[in-house]
Structure 1
Amino acid sequence: MSDGSSTIVTRSKAGVAIRLTDERWRHVTAGHPELTTLRAQVLETLADPETIKQGDSGELLAARFYAQTPLTSKWLVVAYSEIDQTDGFLLTAYLARRLSARRTTLWKR
């Protein structure tokens, strides 16, 4: 029997399937309620980022600038993990004024 939850899958820049479950989306928006209306932009940022940076614990940080968000112009940063070449999952997402210069840039448009 289904619990009514769903999973959306998009592809990272590397072509890896990245899963976003309803449970994970609730977790993201509980900590960052300003993202509630930005689910499509989160998926867009994963699939078509402007830059990808290395996180502190092996995660990847896809980022894309949005001129309009619920908080003004901001970078949308999506942290995700690529388990292997075919599977991964979204960890969290947040809005930032600027990107950290100390993080290693892995890819840039």
Structure 2
Amino acid sequence: MDIAKSKNNVPIRLTEERWFHIVENHDELAGYYDEVLNTIEDPDFIIKGYRGALIALKKMNNKFLAVIYKELNPMRDLLLLLILQVK
């Protein structure tokens, strides 16, 4: 398990189980583990999502990496979903 600090200084956990689930359903993201953590810590933009989720966006060449997460509390903050979008 790795932890990234959000811009609000909240730790966001990326567990092995969550990462496996993400790449199992989105195999194009398999090589982006470090970029995901970096996107949480140093996004280009953050926008509000649904139901309290935040979406951290990081431009990567001609694409954006979108990391969707919630800042709940220190024991439950976690990464929910990753999306790699073509510009």
Q: C-alpha distance in 1, partners of 2:51/2:84?
A: 20
Q: Which runs of 4+ in 1 moved over 3 A?
A: none
Partner of 1:9: 3
Please point out which of 55, 65, 68 is paired with 2:49: 55
Measured after TM superposition, the shift of residue 97 of structure 1 is 2.6
Equivalenced residue count is 86
Letter in 2 for 1:32: H
| Greater C-alpha Rg | 1
Unaligned stretches of 5+ residues in structure 1: 1-6, 68-72, 99-109
Q: If each structure's helix is expressed as a fraction of its own residues, which one has the higher value?
A: 2
Taking only aligned residues, the RMSD between alpha carbons, in angstroms, comes to 1.2
Letter in 2 for 1:79: I
Instruction: Name the residue aligned to 2:18.
Output: 24
Query: What is the TM-score with the length of structure 1 in the denominator?
Result: 0.74
Write the mapping of 1:1-109 to structure 2, written as runs, cut at 5 A.
7-67=1-61, 73-84=62-73, 86=74, 88-98=77-87
TM-score (normalizing by structure 2): 0.92
Distance 1:60 1:31 in 2: 21
